[in-house]
């Protein structure tokens, strides 16, 4: 059976960017940057991007391109059974993430509709928890399904799995060709609207104002590295899977640079949009920006609805654009996470793609429905915390140490990448993978373990 392939270089890059650009860019980056030094955070951020993000992206693209398999198969072809488990570990982390990432997309989808007419009213927090998520009952008391989430959640899975069934080129590539340009246009409209609001300058000052005081604080550097891993979708087996569908003639290193910079560009844009809107909110409430700045669920589903309430003019449309952007950014990431284990299952069990989508994707969908029940929602937070903290940094650390030190494959991979590209990888690439990244990630893991155990 011929392996599926991307139809064009742009198709692959759009899919890789689609995976990278997700909820993390919109609701995570702005706050992480703001909290860790504002303008000064760009120093550790760029350092992490250039020493870990892009080098690992190049490494994962090379592995996929050279060994032409999902992560477990690629690792197996590289070094046999002693490497294959690493691929399965990453696939497992991806599987777990997909079960709850889908739930957040479902919320965003529902909120797109709520935006028209601001269904959330004045008390946006009360609305989110009591009316929408129905968390006012004691956990376990009623395990009933929350229909407001259930229906969009089913839709999220039908769309995602439907796209995967259509295949790499006809499904994933075509979807990204439509979703990503649409996302960029919607987001540009949001940013332009946000920066022209009263008080926007206040928010932008808070975001960009450099605070060099803590720049040498290790936690700031750890935040930068942690964010880059999540944001670029590296150490999840995803980028290996996607690059395994590249045609033989592909410029790997160049593709990695484009993907990395496009992701960061979007992230910066999101930071500007989010903080301009927060500046507006702070001005309306006559409080400092620090009081309204937040991230994650609180930012998207509590603070943004408040901002939308206050906006002059066509605020429903602005709200819908915002939540639709979250939905699209999330869907293109969910496709990539799901494809990771669909490909792993197809190759390991020798089953058809459709069966793998049905069983793998179907199981993830069933598990994610647990998160649409009152009891299940309590697990969402815990799953997110542990997977992000331990899953990503740990897989990343083991991956670079295995490849650079145990299997000693950086030389082979470097040669392969250099055969494909005009950009020549030199010794710096090996230093980044073999020294800088393991040291920073090792420090990060050590800190996490002592912090959680002590």
Q: Which residues bind ligand PHE (CB under 6 A)?
A: 19-20, 22-25, 97, 230-231, 233, 236, 238, 333, 336-337
Nearer residue to ligand PHE within complex by CB, 332 or 414: 332
Q: How far is the CB of 238 from ligand PHE (least distance, A)?
A: 6
Q: Which long-range contacts (CB under 8 A, 24 or more apart) does 78-86 make?
A: 78/407, 78/409, 79/407, 79/409, 82/407, 83/402, 83/407, 86/395, 86/398, 86/399, 86/402
Nearest by Cα to 34 from 280, 219, 204, 232: 204
The radius of gyration of the chain's CA atoms, rounded to the nearest angstrom, is 21
Nearest by Cα to 274 from 204, 330, 336: 204
Nearer residue to ligand PHE within complex by CB, 135 or 186: 186
Q: Which residues pair with 309 in a beta bridge?
A: none
Q: How far is the CB of 251 from ligand PHE (least distance, A)?
A: 23
Q: How far is the CB of 396 from ligand PHE (least distance, A)?
A: 12
Nearest by Cα to 305 from 88, 118, 52, 58: 118
Q: How far is the CB of 334 from ligand PHE (least distance, A)?
A: 8
Q: How far is the CB of 331 from ligand PHE (least distance, A)?
A: 11
Q: How far is the CB of 309 from ligand PHE (least distance, A)?
A: 26
For residue 99, how far is the Cα from the chain centroid?
14
Which burial class, exposed, middle or buried, applies to 241 when counting CB atoms under 10 A from its CB (0-12, 13-18, 19+)?
Answer: buried
Q: How far is the CB of 240 from ligand PHE (least distance, A)?
A: 12
Nearer residue to ligand PHE within complex by CB, 115 or 336: 336
Nearer residue to ligand PHE within complex by CB, 325 or 336: 336
What are the phi and psi torsion angles at 237 (to 5°)? 75, -5
Rounded Cα gap, residues 376 and 384, in angstroms: 13
Q: Which residues contact 215 (CB under 8 A, 6 or more apart)?
A: 37, 40, 43, 44
For residue 421, how far is the Cα from the chain centroid?
27
Q: How far is the CB of 75 from ligand PHE (least distance, A)?
A: 18
Chain position carrying tokens 């609305």 = 127
- Classified as helix, coil or strand, 51 is helix
- Classified as helix, coil or strand, 145 is strand
Locate 107 and state its tokens.
């919320």
Q: How far is the CB of 98 from ligand PHE (least distance, A)?
A: 8
Nearer residue to ligand PHE within complex by CB, 134 or 336: 336
Q: How far is the CB of 293 from ligand PHE (least distance, A)?
A: 19
Locate 188 and state its tokens.
């540009």
Nearer residue to ligand PHE within complex by CB, 20 or 180: 20
Nearer residue to ligand PHE within complex by CB, 42 or 150: 42
One-character DSSP codes across 377-445: HHHHHHHHHHIIIIIIHHHHHHHHHIIIIIS--HHHHHHHHHHH-SSPP-HHHHHIIIIIHHHHHHHHH
Nearer residue to ligand PHE within complex by CB, 104 or 440: 104
Nearer residue to ligand PHE within complex by CB, 160 or 336: 336
Nearer residue to ligand PHE within complex by CB, 233 or 306: 233
Chain position carrying tokens 């150490």 = 235
Locate 133 and state its tokens.
């998520």
- Classified as helix, coil or strand, 373 is strand
Nearer residue to ligand PHE within complex by CB, 25 or 99: 25
Rounded Cα gap, residues 326 and 111, in angstroms: 10
Q: How far is the CB of 385 from ligand PHE (least distance, A)?
A: 15
């Amino acid at each position: 059976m011929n392996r599926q392939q991307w139809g064009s270089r742009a198709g692959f890059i759009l899919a890789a960017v689609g995976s990278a650009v997700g909820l993390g860019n919109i609701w995570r980056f702005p706050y992480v940057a703001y909290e860790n030094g504002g303008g000064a955070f760009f120093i550790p951020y760029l350092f992490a991007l250039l020493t870990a993000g892009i080098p690992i992206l190049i490494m994962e693209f090379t592995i996929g391109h050279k060994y032409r398999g999902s992560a477990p198969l690629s690792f197996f072809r590289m070094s046999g059974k002693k490497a294959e488990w690493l691929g399965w570990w990453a696939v497992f982390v991806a599987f777990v993430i997909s079960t709850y990432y889908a739930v957040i997309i479902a919320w965003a989808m529902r909120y797109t509709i709520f935006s028209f007419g601001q269904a959330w009213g004045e008390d946006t927090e009360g609305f989110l928890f009591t009316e929408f998520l129905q968390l006012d009952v004691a956990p376990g008391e009623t395990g009933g399904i929350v229909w407001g989430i259930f229906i969009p959640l089913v839709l999220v899975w039908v769309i995602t799995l439907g796209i995967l069934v259509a295949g790499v080129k006809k499904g994933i590539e075509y979807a990204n060709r439509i979703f990503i340009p649409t996302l960029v246009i919607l987001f540009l409209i949001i940013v332009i609207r946000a920066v022209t609001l009263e008080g926007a300058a206040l928010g932008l000052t808070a975001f960009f104002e450099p605070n060099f005081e803590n720049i040498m604080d290790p936690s700031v550097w750890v935040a930068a590295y942690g964010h880059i891993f999540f944001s670029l979708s590296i150490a999840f087996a995803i980028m290996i899977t996607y690059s395994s569908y590249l045609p033989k003639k592909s410029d790997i290193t160049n593709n990695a640079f484009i993907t990395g910079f496009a992701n960061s560009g979007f992230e910066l844009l999101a930071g500007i949009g989010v903080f301009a809107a927060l500046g507006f909110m702070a001005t309306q409430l006559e409080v400092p920006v620090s009081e309204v700045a937040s991230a994650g669920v609180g930012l998207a589903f509590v603070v943004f609805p408040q901002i939308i309430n206050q906006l002059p003019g066509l605020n429903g449309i602005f709200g819908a654009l915002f939540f639709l952007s979250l939905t699209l950014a999330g869907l293109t990431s969910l496709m990539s996470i799901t494809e990771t284990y669909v490909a792993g299952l197809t190759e390991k069990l020798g089953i058809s793609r459709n069966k793998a989508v049905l069983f793998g994707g179907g199981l993830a969908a069933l598990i994610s429905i647990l998160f649409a029940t009152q009891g299940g929602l309590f697990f969402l937070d815990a799953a997110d915390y542990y997977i992000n903290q331990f899953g990503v940094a740990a897989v990343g650390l083991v991956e670079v140490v295995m490849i650079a030190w145990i299997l000693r494959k950086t030389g082979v991979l470097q040669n392969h990448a250099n055969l494909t590209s005009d950009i020549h990888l030199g010794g710096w690439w090996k230093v980044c993978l073999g020294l800088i990244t393991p040291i920073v990630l090792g420090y990060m893991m050590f800190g996490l373990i002592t912090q959680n155990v002590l």
